[in-house]
Amino acid sequence: MLKYNDQLIMALEIGSTKTVCGVGKLSHAGRLSILGYHEESSISWRKGRIGDNELAIRFFRNIVEAVQHSTGGRPYVVHVGMANHELYITRQNFKHVFSETAHRISEEDICFVFQMLKALAARENNRIIHVVPTGFYIDNQLVKEPLDLSGKCFSIEAIVISMNTEALDNLLMLLKLAGIKVKEVILGSLASADAVLNATEKEFGSVYVDIGGQTTAIVVYSHGFLQDVVVLPVGSNYITGDLVFGLGISYTAAEYLKLELGLTPVRNLAEEIEVKSGSELKRVSARLILDIIEARINEILDLIKKNIEIYNCEGLIKTGFVFGGGGAKLAGLVDYAEKHLDMPVRVTGPDAYLDAGTSTEAVSLGVIGLIRFRENQSLLPAKPDTSNILGTGWLEKIKLWAVKK
Q: In this structure, is the dihedral angle defined by the CA atoms of residues 39, 43, 45 and 49, taken in order, positive or negative?
A: negative
In angstroms, rounded to a whole number, what is the distance separating the alpha carbons of residues 210 and 296? 16
Rg of the chain over Cα atoms, rounded to whole angstroms, equals 22
Give me the pLDDT at residue 154, please: 92
Contact in structure between 210 and 196 (CB atoms under 8 Å): no
* Single-letter code of the amino acid located at 37: Y
DSSP for 363-379, please give it: --HHHHHHHHHHHHHTT
* Nearest partner of 281 among 237, 315, 250, 238, judged by Cα: 250
Contact in structure between 217 and 229 (CB atoms under 8 Å): yes
Give me the pLDDT at residue 44, please: 65
Give me the pLDDT at residue 268, please: 64
Q: CA-based diameter of the chain, in Å?
A: 80
* Nearest partner of 399 among 109, 2, 132, judged by Cα: 132
C-alpha separations of 168 from 92, 165, 182 in Å: 22, 5, 11
The C-alpha angle with vertex 294 and arms to 288 and 295, in degrees rounded to 5, equals: 90
Contact in structure between 15 and 31 (CB atoms under 8 Å): no
Q: In this structure, is the dihedral angle defined by the CA atoms of residues 226, 231, 234 and 237, taken in order, positive or negative?
A: positive
Give me the pLDDT at residue 361, please: 55
In angstroms, rounded to a whole number, what is the distance separating the alpha carbons of residues 359 and 351? 8
In angstroms, rounded to a whole number, what is the distance separating the alpha carbons of residues 151 and 153? 6
- At 129-139, the pLDDT tens digits run 888 888 899 99
- At 240-291, the pLDDT tens digits run 999 999 999 999 999 988 988 888 876 566 678 888 877 788 888 888 899 9
In angstroms, rounded to a whole number, what is the distance separating the alpha carbons of residues 384 and 372? 21
* Single-letter code of the amino acid located at 296: R
Low-confidence ranges of the chain (pLDDT < 50): 1-4, 47, 376-394, 399-405
Give me the pLDDT at residue 30, please: 64
* Nearest partner of 320 among 312, 332, 331, 329, judged by Cα: 312
Q: Look at residue 315 and give its three-state secondary structure.
A: coil
The C-alpha angle with vertex 89 and arms to 348 and 197, in degrees rounded to 5, equals: 20
Q: Look at residue 335 and give its three-state secondary structure.
A: helix
Specify the pTM.
Answer: 0.83
In angstroms, rounded to a whole number, what is the distance separating the alpha carbons of residues 35 and 390? 33
The domains of the chain, with CATH numbers, are 91-160 (3.30.1490.110)
Contact in structure between 189 and 210 (CB atoms under 8 Å): yes
